[in-house]
Amino acid sequence: MAEVTNQAATSFPAPTISLPLGLDIIRTYSGALICMEIVFGGLVWILVASSNIPVPLLQGWVMFVSVTAFCCSTAYLALFLLGIASRINTDWNFMDMMYHFVALLFYFTAFVLEAATTSGVQKESVNSTACVPRPSSNIITFMDFRQYSINVVATILAFIVTVCYGCSLFMGFKRWRK
């Protein structure tokens, strides 16, 4: 008698993964970039939170993006470190590209809002006769020097994280096109 094969088990393709599983992922450029995204994204999160969020409307989005991207990047790296990605039937090259595209888009907006918050600091003018001087931009931010310094560093790190996500997107796009 001929053996009957289960059609349901043979109809799904094997997962497409170009990245190595286990600790080998950290030895690749993509793995190193994901680690940098996690570390620098966590620093952005910590720095914005430690500045006491002087402009909640703008920096609330920065906090949301940094915390969400930190958690998602950590979970994404854990999928590859633990080898779970090989058990999920999907095109991981496409998922990698799309994840980094969305993260790049969100982090770019967070970087722009953090830069706008930092650049909107109202500087004390010595010869001002008005109680509140006319601002040079539409955003007025009142921060002391400590908060300003923290937000400058957070802006720089948000830019670095944005570049890391952009490089990851580029490498993911190259893997997906192969």
SS3 135: coil
DSSP state of 66: H
User: Which amino acid, residue 46?
Assistant: I
Contact 28, 20 (CB under 8 A): yes
Beta bridge partners of 16: 91
Residue ranges of domains in the chain: 23-122+141-177
pTM of the model: 0.80
Contact 37, 77 (CB under 8 A): no
Strands (E), 72-135: none
Report the candidate in 128, 123, 108 with the shortest Cα–Cα distance to residue 44. Answer: 108
Per-residue pLDDT of the chain (178 residues; tens, 9 = 90+): 566 666 655 555 655 777 778 888 889 999 999 999 999 999 999 999 998 877 778 888 999 999 999 999 999 999 999 988 888 888 888 999 999 999 999 999 999 999 988 887 765 544 555 555 555 556 666 778 888 889 899 999 999 999 999 999 999 999 888 8
The dihedral region occupied by 151, where left means phi > 0, alpha psi between -120 and 50, and beta the remainder, is: alpha
